[in-house]
Amino acid sequence: MKDPKNIIEYFLGKTVDYSIGELLQLEIESYLGWIVRGLPSFLGYFPRYLVYKLLFKKLDSFCFIQPNVFFSHTFRITCGKGLIVNSNTYFHALGGIEIGDNVLIGPNVVISSGEHGYKEGRKPVMWQKITPKKIIIERGVWLGANVVVMPGVIIAEGTIVGAGAIVTKSTKPFTIVAGVPAKKIGDR
């Protein structure tokens, strides 16, 4: 990747990774997200559902998204039925995010599907290539508060992820994992 001369050139350089349609969608999702994100609960659930039904690649049913949940690259998110997401959770779907049915996501969770490169010498990380890595969260998963799901991870069906865990590796179905890095602490 050619080194940008300044922050503006850096920002413009990033746009080449997207089609015109995707750039437009990124703008539209920013504005629509900003309008609905902070609306209070009962008044907020419905407009948030409508906006994300429109923006996501797929959203199979009504979902409860609490205030201040942030989504980026919504056109790369697919979601099954019955999603519940608590406040201040952050979804970055650069590499795609797939969510199965009946997934419960706690507050302050970070699900970010792009990995910054850092091995091109010592140049700033922000100038190095970002690798998209899809995250999959299968049916019936529960992510506790403050969980971080690393790029490329598959959270298998029925997994419970304890509060505060950093999930660096894919999990096995119906296990309970916790800690940093997340390790199995039990079965269901």
Ligand X SMILES: CC(C)(COP(=O)(O)OP(=O)(O)OC[C@H]1O[C@@H](n2cnc3c(N)ncnc32)[C@H](O)[C@@H]1OP(=O)(O)O)[C@@H](O)C(=O)NCCC(=O)NCCS
CB of 59 to ligand X, least distance (A): 20
* From 13, 163, 168, 174, residue interacting with ligand X (rule: CB under 6 A): 163
Q: Considering beta carbons, is residue 126 or 185 the nearer one to ligand X?
A: 185
* From 100, 140, 162, 171, residue interacting with ligand X (rule: CB under 6 A): 162
Give the Cβ contact number of residue 37 at 10 Å: 17
CB of 185 to ligand X, least distance (A): 4
- Contact assessment for residue 159 and residue 171, using Cβ atoms and an 8 Å cutoff: yes
Site for ligand X in 70-129 (CB under 6 A): 86, 106
With tokens 């959770």, the residue in question is 89
Residue 38 is classified by DSSP as T
Q: What are phi and psi of 90, to 5 degrees?
A: -125, 120
Q: Residue 146: is it exposed, middle or buried by C-beta count within 10 angstroms (0-12/13-18/19+)? A: middle
Number of residues engaging ligand X in binding (CB under 6 A): 12
* From 38, 118, 185, 187, residue interacting with ligand X (rule: CB under 6 A): 185
Tokens of 2: 């050619």
- Torsion angle of alpha carbons 51, 53, 56, 59, nearest 10°? 150
- Contact assessment for residue 164 and residue 152, using Cβ atoms and an 8 Å cutoff: no
Q: Considering beta carbons, is residue 50 or 185 the nearer one to ligand X?
A: 185
| Residue 92 annotated as catalytic | no
* From 85, 93, 160, 167, residue interacting with ligand X (rule: CB under 6 A): 160
176 makes contact with ligand X (CB under 6 A): yes
**Active-site position among 30, 34, 43, 116:** 116
Catalytic residue positions? 116
User: Which residue ranges make up the site for ligand X (CB under 6 A)?
Assistant: 86, 106, 144-145, 160, 162-164, 176, 178-179, 185
